[in-house]
Structure 1
Amino acid sequence: MSITLHHHPFSRAAGTLWALEELGCPYELEYVDLQAGSHKQAEFKGLNAMGKLPTLVDGELVVTEAAAIALYLGDRYGLGELAPTPDDPARGTYLRWSLYAPSVIEPGCLAKAASWEFKAGSAGWGTYEEMLDTIEAAIGDGPWLLGERFSMADVIFGGTVRWMLDFGMLDKRPAFVAYADRLSERPAAKRATQINDRIRDERGLNG
């Protein structure tokens, strides 16, 4: 077993766990005690200088940043299935929405929540309203970002939409809620939720 995910259920690693479950490849979880500051210790920062989760180790390779990890896993273990091949016309759309999540949705929602003052033309995420319309257009008729084909882009983009809805940082448009509900019903998403819940219980993180 070569894949190790450094994980905490209250981090973005919870979504990486879902990606691994979608792939069905064997992996191990290495619990990182965020409350104790383990992620900022020298040993862990030797893997990830930012001291962040998720951090994935696959053999000798270390991959960080949630979207990058999911894209790597899709190409390495799900190419042609969860990840379109480079010559597949869907590849461009797949990459577009995978990278839209961390580069637009996350900062756009944070800017809205924190009432940042900025010029929309100078910020990579534009206006909050434009972002909402773009998310809705990306979902379209669904059920997935690539139509009938579920992909790792749905894990990245959809996982971000689910998270932002859960924390009240994204308007609950009907299309968003329906998309999030479809994602939550996926067997791999349910398994990941159960694993994250179990770890929270075992580590006493719920109280």
Structure 2
Amino acid sequence: MTALTLYTNPMSRGRIARWMLEETGQPYTVTVLNYGTTMKARDYLAINPMGKVPTVVHDGRVITECAAICTYLADAFPEAGLMPADRAAFYRWMFFGAGPVEQAVTNTALGFVVPPERQRTAGYGSLEDVVTALEHRLAEAPYFAGDSFSAVDVYLGSQIGWGLRFGTLPDRPAFRAYWDRIADRPAAKRAQAADDALMEQKA
């Protein structure tokens, strides 16, 4: 049996990693870390020098960054069917989420808007450019890698779901329809329930 450990906090992107782990169907253990204390402790910094979560350790191999975690787990457990045959679409949209989407949403939330004359310098151009690209893809296919759900939908779908909930992305019909297609997956519900329970324990 493989050993999988998730280092997380329920108020973090660790929710994405937990959803992905649930989708694999593999057993895993969870270590909950707290901001500013156990995340910065020497033992954890030896695993992830950034002192942040999530981190997944699989049989001694350390994987950080949500896009990498989702991609790695899809590849490590092919029986889960989360790595599609169309690898080009998979990699394109996985890293579109990790690059332009992440940058545009974070910068906008922090109040930083790239001046129009400097948008060529920023890899994402503008938030509107990113939103348009996402909408265009969802008009082409029901899921980001094509006709079936994959790990990229865990990662990029989580970003869209978060954006709709907290207003960091515009509320577009294409985003609502897409989120409705994936939000009720059993693995997503199990992951949410587990993290919500941790939140209640902290309250």
TM-score (norm 1): 0.90
5+ residue gaps, structure 1, are none
Q: Which residue is equivalent to 1:93?
A: 89
User: How many equivalent residue pairs?
Assistant: 199
The one-letter code matched in structure 2 to 1:147 is G
The one-letter code matched in structure 2 to 1:30 is T
CA offsets 1:96-149 (integer angstroms, 9 cap, x no match): 111111201111112223133441101111122111110111222543123331
Q: Which residue is equivalent to 1:130?
A: 129
% of aligned pairs identical? 35
Q: Which residue is equivalent to 1:169?
A: 168
Matched, 1:107 2:103: yes
Q: Could you tell me whether the CA contact under 8 Å between 2:71 and 2:151 is conserved in 1?
A: yes
Q: Which residue is equivalent to 2:37?
A: 37
1:14–1:107 CA distance, 2 compared to 1 (3 A): same
Q: Which residue is equivalent to 2:184?
A: 185
What is the DSSP-based 3-state SS (H/G/I as helix, E as strand, rest coil) of the residue aligned with 1:140?
A: helix
5+ residue gaps, structure 2, are none
RMSD: 1.6
Q: Return the alpha-carbon distance in structure 2 between the equivalents of residues 116 and 41 of structure 1.
A: 35
Q: Return the alpha-carbon distance in structure 2 between the equivalents of residues 56 and 27 of structure 1.
A: 10
Q: Could you tell me whether the CA contact under 8 Å between 2:24 and 2:80 is conserved in 1?
A: no
What is the DSSP-based 3-state SS (H/G/I as helix, E as strand, rest coil) of the residue aligned with 1:109?
A: helix
What is the DSSP-based 3-state SS (H/G/I as helix, E as strand, rest coil) of the residue aligned with 2:120?
A: helix
Q: Could you tell me whether the CA contact under 8 Å between 2:3 and 2:59 is conserved in 1?
A: yes
Q: CA deviation at 1:79?
A: 6.1
The one-letter code matched in structure 1 to 2:19 is W
Q: Which residue is equivalent to 1:81?
A: 81
Q: Which residue is equivalent to 1:11?
A: 12
What is the DSSP-based 3-state SS (H/G/I as helix, E as strand, rest coil) of the residue aligned with 2:176?
A: helix
Q: Return the alpha-carbon distance in structure 2 between the equivalents of residues 68 and 198 of structure 1.
A: 26
Q: Which residue is equivalent to 1:196?
A: 195
The one-letter code matched in structure 1 to 2:58 is D
Q: Which residue is equivalent to 2:113?
A: 116
Q: Return the alpha-carbon distance in structure 2 between the equivalents of residues 110 and 61 of structure 1.
A: 29
The one-letter code matched in structure 2 to 1:192 is A
Q: CA deviation at 1:63?
A: 0.7
Q: CA deviation at 1:80?
A: 7.8
